[in-house]
Structure 1
């Protein structure tokens, strides 16, 4: 290995070798994270995906109507009993909360801004397009449906 000894004797060679080894390690870790599906930017893929997320969040919640945000960051779902469920990204997973009052509902054109009683859930603005006005009209019945 006289060649390696000579290469390491050069002042910049050891630095270059270290940088190359570091780059290889970073690429290996990135490949492993991708293979294990860590991190990423999860999106709701469509109504079927939103339906499965709603069922997973509330056992027995059978969504009859679903609207998914155009970017896939959240969704709103209603079941036969009139319960409304909000679904949103939470890190690399999804979180869901039931909407029980109209206090946090605001319509701005095609954007529907919603918040629940759970302050940790935060506020979500969904781009529902033409469906935004339909959902706001149906949400007005939310307060009347509960005793």
Structure 2
């Protein structure tokens, strides 16, 4: 009987820890659900970011978003959440077929490779304008 009580208590503790982990959104494998989710992540990172264009990574672990002011945000999976950086230069951008590899100036952010499919060339060309003088 004592062993059964210990077993029940251990099972209850495991279930409680699982519930707490879910409530705190720990673990898991977050993905960007769709373009609206990418827009929300951009607005969360930069209040009032008015997203006009979105390019989602095929695996939905990253995205590029552009606003009406031609600012571009790079969104990437970071643990169980997402991190965002504004791209200000095309210096760290490399195109390889359908893959766009981006290295930001923030070394902690790291290098991100996005599988953008047919959009990769279009976005690579548009990123070449970053850092140039605007009229």
Which band: TM-score by shorter chain?
0.7 to 0.9
Choose from 52, 76, 95 the match for 1:64: 52
Could you tell me which residue of structure 2 aligns to residue 38 of structure 1?
25
Q: 1:77 to 1:107 in 2, by over 3 A?
A: same
The structure with the largest helix share of the pair is 1
| Cα deviation code 1:81-118 (max 9, x no counterpart) | 21111011222221111111111101111111112111
Larger Rg: 1
Q: Does 1:144 align with 2:132?
A: yes
Q: Structure 1 unaligned runs (5+)?
A: 9-13
Q: Does 1:74 align with 2:62?
A: yes
Q: Does 1:124 align with 2:112?
A: yes
Could you tell me which residue of structure 1 aligns to residue 88 of structure 2?
100
Q: Structure 2 unaligned runs (5+)?
A: none
Counterpart secondary structure, 2:131: helix
Q: CA deviation at 1:28?
A: 3.2
> What is the RMSD computed on CA atoms of the aligned residues?
2.1
Query: Matched residues in 2 for 1:111 and 1:145: separation?
Result: 27
Q: CA deviation at 1:63?
A: 1.3
Query: Matched residues in 2 for 1:85 and 1:103: separation?
Result: 15
Cα pair 1:68 1:75 within 8 Å, conserved: yes
Query: Matched residues in 2 for 1:145 and 1:46: separation?
Result: 32
